[in-house]
C-alpha cells in the first residue's frame, strides 16, 4: 500500500513539474555569471591606464572592425528571437533554420575575435605586455569563451530539435539557452561601450 502511495506521489510531482525550477535555477546561474563579469569590468577599470609605457586602446582598437563584430552578435540575438517564436508556434523547420543562422552569426563573431587577438599578439600587444592588456584579454576572452560554449549548446539544440521535435523538454532547454545568449549580448554591449568606445574616444 505504501509503495502505491509513493508511486502516486511521484506521479503528482512529475505532472506538476512545469520546468519553473529549471528556469529559476538558470536565472541563479546567470546571476553568478554577472558577478564574474562585474569583477572583470572592475579589474579592467582599475588597470585601463596601466600600459607600462606600451600601447593603449587608442593605438590598438579598430572601432570599424569591432563594430562589425558587434553587428554579428546583435543580429544573432534577433535571429534567436525568431527561432524561439517559431519554436513556440511548433514550426520545427523554421526554428531549426533560425537557430542555424544564429549559429553562423555567432561563429562569425568568434572568428573575428580570434583574428583580432592573433593580430594584437603578433604586434607584441599580448596579455603579457601590460596590466592593461592582461585585463583586456581577460575580460574579452572570458566573454568569447562564453559565446563558444553557447555555440556548442546551439549545435546540441539544433540536433535535439531535429530528432526529438519541439516537446516540453526541448522548449525548456531553448528557453534557458535564449536567456544565456541574450545575456551575452548585454555583456558585449557593455564591453563595446566601456572597453572599445571608452578606449578610443
Where do the structural domains in the chain lie, given as residue ranges? 21-200
- For the cut 60, the answer to whether the pLDDT of residue 8 exceeds it is no
Interatomic CA distance for residues 123 and 144, integer angstroms: 21
Q: What is the mean pLDDT of residues 111-124?
A: 96
- For the cut 90, the answer to whether the pLDDT of residue 51 exceeds it is yes
Non-local CB neighbours of 142 within 8 Å, separated by 6+ positions: 36, 37, 40
Q: Which CATH number fits domain 21-200: 3.40.50.1820, 1.20.120.80, 1.25.40.10, 3.40.50.11540?
A: 1.20.120.80
Q: What is the pLDDT of residue 38?
A: 97
Q: What is the pLDDT of residue 144?
A: 97
Q: What is the pLDDT of residue 19?
A: 66
- The band of 11, judged by pLDDT with boundaries at 50, 70 and 90, is very low
Hunting for cell 523554421 — which residue is that? Answer: 94
Q: What is the pLDDT of residue 18?
A: 55
Note the pTM of the prediction, 2 decimals: 0.87
Amino acid at each position: 500500500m505504501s509503495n502505491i502511495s509513493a508511486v502516486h506521489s511521484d506521479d503528482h510531482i512529475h505532472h506538476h513539474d512545469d520546468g519553473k525550477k529549471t528556469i529559476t535555477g538558470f536565472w541563479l546561474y546567470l546571476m553568478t555569471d554577472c558577478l564574474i563579469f562585474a569583477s572583470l569590468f572592475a579589474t579592467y577599470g582599475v588597470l585601463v591606464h596601466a600600459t607600462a609605457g606600451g600601447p593603449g586602446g587608442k593605438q590598438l582598437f579598430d572601432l570599424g572592425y569591432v563594430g562589425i563584430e558587434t553587428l554579428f552578435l546583435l543580429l544573432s540575438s534577433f535571429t534567436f528571437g525568431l527561432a524561439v517564436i517559431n519554436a513556440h508556434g511548433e514550426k520545427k523547420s523554421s526554428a531549426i533554420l533560425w537557430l542555424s543562422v544564429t549559429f553562423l552569426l555567432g561563429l562569425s563573431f568568434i572568428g573575428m575575435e580570434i583574428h583580432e587577438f592573433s593580430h594584437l599578439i603578433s604586434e607584441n600587444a599580448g596579455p603579457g605586455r601590460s596590466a592593461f592588456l592582461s585585463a583586456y584579454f581577460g575580460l574579452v576572452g572570458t566573454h568569447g569563451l562564453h559565446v563558444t560554449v553557447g555555440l556548442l549548446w546551439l549545435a546540441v539544440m539544433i540536433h535535439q530539435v531535429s530528432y526529438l521535435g519541439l516537446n516540453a523538454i526541448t522548449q525548456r532547454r531553448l528557453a534557458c539557452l535564449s536567456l544565456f545568449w541574450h545575456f551575452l549580448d548585454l555583456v558585449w554591449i557593455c564591453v563595446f561601450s566601456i572597453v572599445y568606445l571608452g578606449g578610443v574616444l
